[in-house]
């Protein structure tokens, strides 16, 4: 389950250009080196036929059975079973969105048994990509007890069986990634959920690499941030490397 991802240094200008968004409602969006559940992040969706960029809160409404005996709904971050009646109602085009990311993480364990994020991206430069997402606007619930009842625009993204790179760390699932503008357009516009999800096949050969997170230090105070995306980290190298060769990395995933 992916519960942490990053936009690194990618700001609104880069997002508008990459997603060809003609409307931008993100306002003064900060850098987002670490995006956690129940926090706000940008998504792209169609509004009156135009791609629109807006901030929403990560975590769709939970199914009723998950809320039994609970007063707070923290939301569901990853959607796997799209055949469930709870999710089927939100598979229509008006509820679909794109979730921009530069890298995402899955947890592994270090020698002491402590969970450590391992980051996945399409390159050391952390180029933009996106997940296939769903959104629900104007949902009223109690997300945090201290805030009481709030009305929010919410999102989450779909997951499928992982490919080889992600499966080596997290064998249960990985986010659905849309790699071409055609895939992104189909996801946003396809009239039926069957057409929209036809490309969401398991084990797709996305060529990705991974980086273990460095230990938390005084110069890297945000636990879990992508080490190559934080403003506090040195900028990523621009030297190009062979992205498809497993021999280019050691067993920890670091470049040799």
Q: What are the tens digits of pLDDT across the range 126-154?
A: 899 999 999 999 999 999 999 999 999 99
Based on the number of CB atoms within 10 Å of its own CB, is 99 exposed (0-12), middle (13-18) or buried (19 or more)?
A: buried
- Pairwise CA distance, residues 207 & 126, whole Å: 13
Residue 227 Rama label (left phi>0; alpha psi -120 to 50; beta):
alpha
- Pairwise CA distance, residues 154 & 149, whole Å: 14
pLDDT value at residue 19: 96
- Band (5; pLDDT cuts 50, 70, 90): very high
pLDDT value at residue 78: 95
pLDDT value at residue 148: 95
- Band (83; pLDDT cuts 50, 70, 90): confident
Whose structure tokens read 């942490």? 4
Whose structure tokens read 């679909």? 96
- Band (21; pLDDT cuts 50, 70, 90): very high
pLDDT value at residue 232: 28
pLDDT value at residue 213: 55
- Band (53; pLDDT cuts 50, 70, 90): very high
pLDDT value at residue 103: 93
For the chain, the structural domain boundaries read 5-248
Query: Across the strands, what pairs with 156?
Result: 134
Q: Is the pLDDT of residue 173 over 50?
A: yes
pLDDT value at residue 207: 62
Q: Rounded to the nearest 5 degrees, what angle is found at the Cα of 174, between the Cα atoms of 169 and 179?
A: 120
Closest to 131 in 3D by CA, of 204, 192, 64: 204
- Pairwise CA distance, residues 152 & 204, whole Å: 33
- Band (237; pLDDT cuts 50, 70, 90): very low
- Pairwise CA distance, residues 130 & 103, whole Å: 10
The percentage of the chain sitting over the pLDDT mark of 90, rounded to a whole number, equals: 57
Entry pTM: 0.81
pLDDT value at residue 251: 28
Query: Across the strands, what pairs with 230?
Result: none
Q: Which tokens belong to 66?
A: 């998950």
- Band (202; pLDDT cuts 50, 70, 90): low
Q: Is the pLDDT of residue 215 over 50?
A: no
pLDDT value at residue 187: 93
The highest-level CATH class for domain 5-248 is: alpha beta
- Band (225; pLDDT cuts 50, 70, 90): low
Q: What is the mean pLDDT of residues 54-58?
A: 97
Q: Which tokens belong to 17?
A: 């250009």
pLDDT value at residue 1: 80
- Band (200; pLDDT cuts 50, 70, 90): low
Q: What is the mean pLDDT of residues 82-108?
A: 93
- 230 contacts 236 by C-beta, under 8 angstroms: no
Query: Across the strands, what pairs with 141?
Result: 150
């Amino acid at each position: 389950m992916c519960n942490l991802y990053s936009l690194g240094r990618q700001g609104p200008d880069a997002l508008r250009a990459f997603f060809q968004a003609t409307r931008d409602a993100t306002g003064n969006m900060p850098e987002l080196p670490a995006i956690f559940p129940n926090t706000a992040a940008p998504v792209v969706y169609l509004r009156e036929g135009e791609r629109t960029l807006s901030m929403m809160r990560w975590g769709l409404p939970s199914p009723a059975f998950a809320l039994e005996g609970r007063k707070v709904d923290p939301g569901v971050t990853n959607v796997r079973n799209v055949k469930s009646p709870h999710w089927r109602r939100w598979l229509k085009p008006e509820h679909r969105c794109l979730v921009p990311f530069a890298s995402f993480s899955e947890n592994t364990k270090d020698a002491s048994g402590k969970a450590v994020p391992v980051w996945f991206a399409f390159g050391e430069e952390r180029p933009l990509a996106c997940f296939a997402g769903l959104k629900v606007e104007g949902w009223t619930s109690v997300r945090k007890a201290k805030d009481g009842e709030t009305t929010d625009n919410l999102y989450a993204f779909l997951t499928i069986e992982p490919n080889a790179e992600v499966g080596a760390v997290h064998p249960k699932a990985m986010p659905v990634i849309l790699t071409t503008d055609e895939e992104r357009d189909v996801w946003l516009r396809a009239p039926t959920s069957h057409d929209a999800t036809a490309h969401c096949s398991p084990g797709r050969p996305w060529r990705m690499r991974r980086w273990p997170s460095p230990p938390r230090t005084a110069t890297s105070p945000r636990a879990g941030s992508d080490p190559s995306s934080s403003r506090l980290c040195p900028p990523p190298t621009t030297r190009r490397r062979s992205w498809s060769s497993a021999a280019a990395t050691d067993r920890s995933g670091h470049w040799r």
